[in-house]
Amino acid sequence: MTDYTADEMMTVAAARALTDGSVCFVGIGLPSTAANLARRTHAPDLVLVYESGTIGSKPATLPLSIGDGVLADSADSLVSVPEIFNYWLQPGRVDVGFLGAAQLDRFGNINTTVIGDDYRDPKVRLPGAGGAPEIAASCREVFMIVRQSPRAFVERVDFVTSLGFGTGKGDRERLGLKGRGPQLVITDLGVLRPDPDTCELTLTQLHPGVDLATAKAKTGWDLRVSPDLVTTERPTDQELAALRDLTA
């Protein structure tokens, strides 16, 4: 069996989470790599939607940006940016919103705005919201792919750019959000899912060779662990070949 990196395991695990035939609103970077890997492996009819207005893109090479020509040329339908948000994302037509994050907290809230507690005088100015607040609000469910570290996985995000479960169960419903929120966080160490009772992100899966102590150490909050913790199946040779072909 082929050797692989932690990032490769993460991307493969993320790709596996996408069901064939479902519709995925794809953020650039790791989510796009995972979604395109899924299309090349078990989910050839996965529908990729990018916020640049491309619906049903089937890129032959991995796009570097959200606005690559290959996304337009291979799309079933190409629409304006206002239309992609208003007609396609907002009404809840999309099954999965697939996002990255600079900071993430135990309730799946996302920060991509500022590090530090003063918005007007930040320690680090991040790129900002992009499409994420409405992707996180409107998709039937949200998957995230984030490398695990105490800096990224924090007790409470410095700034809520995109809402996960807010302060816990019931917040999304109170705000009238239709989507179910973050249902899956795939990291380089394992997979977290919201606890059905509290919505707190809970470790339910460890990738092969990763020990629980590492996962806890790389989490900035007191990580809860599922009693049914399982080990991820390692990437198959076919998955790795497809991924390496894609990112070559």
Active site residue 141: no
Q: What are the b/e assignments for 120-132, b being 16+ CB within 10 Å?
A: eeeeeebeebbbb
209: CB partners within 8 A, 6+ apart: none
| 23 makes contact with other proteins (CB under 8 A) | yes
78: CB partners within 8 A, 6+ apart: 53, 54, 55, 72
Distance (Å, rounded) from C-alpha 213 to C-alpha 9? 19
Sign, CA dihedral 186-189-193-198, equals negative
| Binding region for other proteins (CB under 8 A) out of 11-19, 49-57, 190-198, 214-222 | 49-57
Distance (Å, rounded) from C-alpha 40 to C-alpha 112? 30
| 118 makes contact with other proteins (CB under 8 A) | no
Judged by CB, which is closer to other proteins: 13, or 34? 34
**Cross-strand bridge partners of residue 205:** 191, 230
Judged by CB, which is closer to other proteins: 86, or 236? 86
| 78 makes contact with other proteins (CB under 8 A) | yes
Phi and psi, residue 121, nearest 5°: -140, 70
| Binding region for other proteins (CB under 8 A) out of 139-147, 154-162, 200-208, 221-229 | 154-162
| Binding region for other proteins (CB under 8 A) out of 36-44, 166-174, 206-214, 215-223 | 166-174
Judged by CB, which is closer to other proteins: 79, or 212? 79
Positions touching other proteins (CB under 8 A) are 21, 23, 28, 47, 51-56, 64-69, 71-72, 76-78, 80-82, 85-87, 89-93, 113, 119, 121-122, 124-134, 137-138, 159-163, 166, 171-172, 175-177
